[in-house]
Structure 1
Amino acid sequence: MLKRAWWAKSPSSKWVGTEKPEEKDGSRAQWALDRRTDPLLGRTLTHWPEASQSGGPQTCNNTEALLKEHQALNGKAIRTRFPPEPNGYLHLGHAKSMNMNFSLAFERLEGAGVTCKRETVFRYDDTNPEAETKEFIESLATDVQWMGWTPVVTTHTSDYFPVFYAMALELIDKGKAYVCHQSSSEIEACRSVAKARVALKAMQDPPAELVAEAKLHEPSAHESPYRNRSVAENHALFEKMRNGTTAEGECTLRLKMYEEGGSNFNMFDQVAYRVKHRAHPHAGDAWCMYPTYDYTHCIVDALEHVDYSICTLEFETRRESYYWVLDALDLYRPKVFEMSRLNVSHVVLSKRKLTKLVDTGKVRGWDDPRMPTISGLRRRGYSPAAVNAFCRDVGVTRNENFIEYSRLQHFARQDLEERADRRMAVREPLKVTLVGDASLFRTYDAPNHPTDASRGTRPLTLTKVVYIEASDFREVDSKDFYGLALNKWARLRYCVCLKCISVEKDGITCEISDKVEKDPRGKLHWVSSDAMQCELRDYDHLFTVGKVDDEKWESQLSETSLVVRDKALVERLERPSDGTAFQFERLGFYAVDPDATTDRLVFNLTVPLKSGAPVKKEAGVSRKAQQEADRLKKEALKKVKPQDLFRTDEYNAWDADGIPTHNKAGEPLSKSLIKKCKKEWAKQKKLYEAANKA
């Protein structure tokens, strides 16, 4: 008898043996036993996406016996589960799911007056040996721990393989499962016939081609020809699948779910088992056929007595099949809650796409700092606190959402502003030879943090040769440039003022002084001659567009998402531990990369100091250049019809005049924003009409 801990199922189960559950004090809150309303779902529990043809809403209701068993096992605890498949690394979408399952769901319940003990099961949903590896399994555990979540228990779906097999045998006995020798294309052909028949019923005068596709002269054309095999034949064939004498793709075990006329095609006799002659990364080589997600995830939710099965909206139409399986096996029915997927600008959150980026070498691996994976964010310098704050701010809704990446950067910047020590680094060094009062060549104190005096100071030694940012010097000065120029004063941060007196081939020479008539507006970061050479990796968005196209996504990859500055210099530091964060003054927040060595440090740009793209090589634009850019922009606008002014990716709906009414996520614009757009539209109309009078 297979041993299971108390969370698997009660001792009375015929499927698994269990340890005797611990005694729980008190009784379960009455709300948990009431199947009519729920404080988390916020709607009736019998809500279905469409009418059920094969069981109806009643299949989601637990019997009194099942509820009693559930109460005895869970006591006062409320249980959720986080069940990722180990076929890749966790990403931002999983971070949102973790936040919901480990925290937000319980806070919502407690906000509704429910007192409960929080329990979340961390489950590896590992039913597909083709895509899953030990590397992925280990990475998932690392990421969950790093994000700060502690599960009540960690389980593997593959640990239940004997249970799924026993349940499949019962479904065959009940006439609810059969071995099917149809190919995937043949199954799809039958599905098309069923869809055509449903569409036919909804039409008064259906087209001839639809009538032909429906094959009304063949009453069973929508069914597998193997659907009505005998129980004995199905047992014999299923045993062949089990013992390895059936070839891959030769046959499957399907569930007899679909009934004529049903419009939910996720109920179209789902596949429960398929043959795969390969070892499993966790279960080993004991099996040569493997169960599917649709068959197993509802069963494991029931066996682990999960109160809330939280998933994303694409699984809503699968809710009917979820409860069909539990009803057929008379298992406990968890409550199902769907939320919208997380969509973030300038990244993709599809494991298929992320896998391709890694496999084709477009990125350096799953932990590349440009990747939206948890390991990528960690390497880039994001903290769990920043990622979780972002997830909490995004919240949970059933409405489709599209979140700007800058929102994540905001929380990273907010977090780093408090905890990162300040240092100075120079990306493109310019040699500066200093001359003047010898007493000024000494050690100065600089604060480690501008607002937290408890962090102390660090020594900065002014040597006769220092290095500043090349972009902070111009031979020809301008009014809007606050850097250094010939015969112009500027200040080195935390010490003296300097004035350029000559320009040489290998740098410039400056006079220094601690007494000037007026403190210069320009404050330059610098490093002394004993600075360490380092490598700064400045990261920008992985994609050139905010909303990445599902079809053209590979062509939208940015060629400038990484700029490596291998001649950079930084204040002398002992080798910090990986991930240590610094604010390089006037540049941005950087984190130590694992590639760093004692002699050569490597830093990743986490976020620039202000919202927007990282600082480019040419910092600062002259007023003249900006005026010219504004002039060219105005000339271009003269050719734009007012109706086309707002026809951009920022919006997805407009009125008859072309004034936007909904943003890119499909949400209505506020009245104040629409009013602002109308003013811009009227201004553009005048500009366009004046320029096109002739």
Structure 2
Amino acid sequence: MSEASKTGNFITQIIDKDNETGKHGGKVLTRFPPEPNGYLHIGHAKSICLNFGIAQRYQGQCNLRFDDTNPEKESVEYIESIKRDVEWLGFDWAGEPKYASDYFDQLFDFACELIKAGKAYVCELNAEQMREYRGTLKEPGKNSPYRDRTPEENLALFMEMRDGKYADGEKVLRAKIDMASPNINLRDPIIYRIRHVHHHQTGDKWCVYPMYDFTHCLSDALENITHSICTLEFQDHRPLYDWTLDTLGTAHPQQIEFARLNLNYTVTSKRKLKQLVDEGHVEAWDDPRMPTISGMRRRGFTPASIRNFCERIGVTKSDSIVDFGMLEHAIREDLDANANRAMAVLNPIKVTLTNYPEDKEEIFNVGNHPKNEEAGTREVPFSKELFIDAADFEEVAPRKWKRLSLDSAVRLRGGYVITCNEVIRDEAGNVVELLCTYDENTLGVNPEGYKPKGVIHWVSAKHAVDAKVRLYDRLFSDEAPDAKHEGKTFLDFINPESMSVAENAKLEPSLAQAEPGVGFQFEREGYFCRDLKEEGMVFNRTVTLRDSWAKIEAKG
């Protein structure tokens, strides 16, 4: 059973009561119904974990269904990405993936039933007129002048729409409900519109396509879904969901709404994510800075960490903002327990051990994980010339400095204690080399009375693997980039430091065999993984060792 299915919530309480009364014969059948008009994001991860997790909890089933009613914005690329994301998160759907387009013939027949019953009509108002007739939240709408056509007229016109006689937007089919309803969704909503466009599943068979609200509820009914779980924005649409199913006399799944995942420093609108991609603000949908599941996978997030995060934030009926730090904490927690350690120098300075033999090499056996002996050890080569990180050296040590400085000693992780004796600079005054000595009596021990101030990581220069390491940070610098800011859009809050690149990083040789996507802790640097797309030694920082943003905000 997944983490997301272990604890109860108000939805499981509803299902428990249904099972007690035998409402669905003890069956639980849910569905995850994304529209294939973009890549899935972290908000969808919550819905995936909830729908599939509930099915697992009750030994039921969860369908993967693509609500593909808008072919202009949909593509096979998005469909394939959604399948990959659901599987990567650790879930499997019942049977083959389903498509709303599988039901287009039945949906068309349902529309004809409504027309024959006097519950739907063909309308010729244009979009502007439709808005005018619709009314407002305070004022009722007005009946369309086409509302009183006979069922025979409407059926004939609807058939002509299907047969391609009219242009896009020239006519629509509307449900006949109540133009004075306080719920605007019931003011004769459009249920079919004309679109002369190729569909990725049905080809050119159709030039009329059902609207989402009409399609969704009937697809649920046709699949015998027991509990239709969706986010709160569909709460006002539930009366239309119920009206459609009750009017047609179909099976009637229960729609249950929960609060969507709102994460600070993030936007999850598919339209805005697509804008980021189309305008080149990010590399692609799977850019590691994106809140998409594919982007998080490429950055090195783990399925377990995302499932655990979704479990911890819980399932409620009220909207709230979740701090991005909670997601990062879930990632750190999982990687701290499961990621092997390795050494990588991101901003290298050369260290020469002047008293180490020129032709000598040693192999140190270093533990892969300090908390897990079963992770074993790896061989780390050592030689006369090393690399350490520039951040680990200060010529004059500041107060409480625990790294290397001139005339002071420091331990190399898993190796000897070294002392810096001389600093070599280039013409511009930059430190380019440190001349040090090592103490051969300090391998794995501190002689009595001899305590170096700290421990730093290193890489043997002779054996180092060259790599490019990308250091990712939050894509947005504002906590609420999607909120209304006078004269600004979310694009104005893109963090200019969301990615920096260590072009000349030096890695220990064991990392040459790193599998793409597998996480490592680069000691004292953070958690990293080899990139899933780029060839060669390219690593992405998944997350820092600590929440550096919390410190920045505290100072601010």
Output the TM-score relative to the length of structure 2. 0.90
Alpha-carbon distance between aligned partners in 2 of 1:130 and 1:329, rounded to the nearest angstrom: 29
1:190 aligns with 2:133: yes
Q: Secondary structure in 2 aligned to 1:534? A: strand
1:601 corresponds in structure 2 to 537
**Cα deviation, residue 76, structure 1:** 4.1
User: Residue deviations 1:573-607, cap 9 Å, x none?
Assistant: 3342210111100001101102453xx41111111
1:93 aligns with 2:43: yes
Q: Secondary structure in 2 aligned to 1:544? A: coil
Question: Structure 2 residue aligned with 1:234, among 142, 148, 154?
Answer: 154
**Aligned partner letter, 1:185:** E
1:271 corresponds in structure 2 to 190
Compared CA separation, residues 38 and 567, structure 1 to 2 (3 A) = closer
2:118 corresponds in structure 1 to 175
Answer with 549-558 or 334-343: which moved more: 549-558
Written as runs of structure 1 = structure 2, the 5 A alignment for 1:42-441 is 76-104=26-54, 107=57, 116-153=58-95, 154-192=97-135, 195-198=137-140, 222-260=142-180, 262-438=181-357, 441=361
1:577 aligns with 2:515: yes
Alpha-carbon distance between aligned partners in 2 of 1:136 and 1:534, rounded to the nearest angstrom: 32
Compared CA separation, residues 303 and 381, structure 1 to 2 (3 A) = same
**Cα deviation, residue 495, structure 1:** 1.0
1:40 corresponds in structure 2 to 13
**Cα deviation, residue 356, structure 1:** 0.5
1:557 aligns with 2:500: no
Compared CA separation, residues 195 and 483, structure 1 to 2 (3 A) = closer
- 4+ runs of 1 displaced by more than 3 Å? 37-45, 104-107, 194-198, 437-441, 514-517, 613-616
Compared CA separation, residues 486 and 441, structure 1 to 2 (3 A) = farther
| Structure 1: tracts of 5 or more residues without a match | 1-36, 46-66, 108-115, 199-220, 617-628, 634-694
1:674 corresponds in structure 2 to none
Alpha-carbon distance between aligned partners in 2 of 1:615 and 1:497, rounded to the nearest angstrom: 32
Compared CA separation, residues 162 and 437, structure 1 to 2 (3 A) = closer
Q: Secondary structure in 2 aligned to 1:336? A: strand
Alpha-carbon distance between aligned partners in 2 of 1:44 and 1:391, rounded to the nearest angstrom: 24
**Cα deviation, residue 478, structure 1:** 2.4
Alpha-carbon distance between aligned partners in 2 of 1:187 and 1:437, rounded to the nearest angstrom: 84
Alpha-carbon distance between aligned partners in 2 of 1:160 and 1:521, rounded to the nearest angstrom: 71
Q: Sequence identity of aligned pairs in percent?
A: 41
- Tell me the matched-pair count: 524
User: Residue deviations 1:59-107, cap 9 Å, x none?
Assistant: xxxxxxxx99x96xxx542111110000001111111001111114764
Paired residues of 2:173 and 2:191 also in contact (CA < 8 A): yes
Q: Secondary structure in 2 aligned to 1:272? A: strand
Paired residues of 2:424 and 2:434 also in contact (CA < 8 A): yes
Alpha-carbon distance between aligned partners in 2 of 1:514 and 1:318, rounded to the nearest angstrom: 75
Alpha-carbon distance between aligned partners in 2 of 1:297 and 1:380, rounded to the nearest angstrom: 34
User: Residue deviations 1:162-200, cap 9 Å, x none?
Assistant: 0011111111111111110001111110112x65545xx
Q: Secondary structure in 2 aligned to 1:566? A: strand
Alpha-carbon distance between aligned partners in 2 of 1:330 and 1:255, rounded to the nearest angstrom: 15
Paired residues of 1:607 and 1:614 also in contact (CA < 8 A): no
Q: Secondary structure in 2 aligned to 1:520? A: coil
1:539 corresponds in structure 2 to 472
Greater CA radius of gyration, 1 or 2? Answer: 1
Q: Secondary structure in 1 aligned to 2:415? A: coil
1:590 aligns with 2:528: yes
Q: Secondary structure in 1 aligned to 2:350? A: strand
Paired residues of 2:289 and 2:474 also in contact (CA < 8 A): yes
Paired residues of 1:540 and 1:613 also in contact (CA < 8 A): no
- Greater relative contact order (Cα 8 A, min sep 6): structure 1 or 2? 2
Paired residues of 1:82 and 1:97 also in contact (CA < 8 A): yes
Answer with 512-521 or 405-414: which moved more: 512-521
Alpha-carbon distance between aligned partners in 1 of 2:70 and 2:415, rounded to the nearest angstrom: 63
Compared CA separation, residues 122 and 42, structure 1 to 2 (3 A) = closer
User: Residue deviations 1:382-414, cap 9 Å, x none?
Assistant: 111110000011110011111111111111111
2:436 corresponds in structure 1 to 510
**Aligned partner letter, 1:448:** N
C-alpha RMSD of the superposition: 2.4
**Cα deviation, residue 454, structure 1:** 2.1
Output the TM-score relative to the length of structure 1. 0.72
Compared CA separation, residues 356 and 596, structure 1 to 2 (3 A) = closer
1:466 corresponds in structure 2 to 386
Paired residues of 2:360 and 2:384 also in contact (CA < 8 A): no
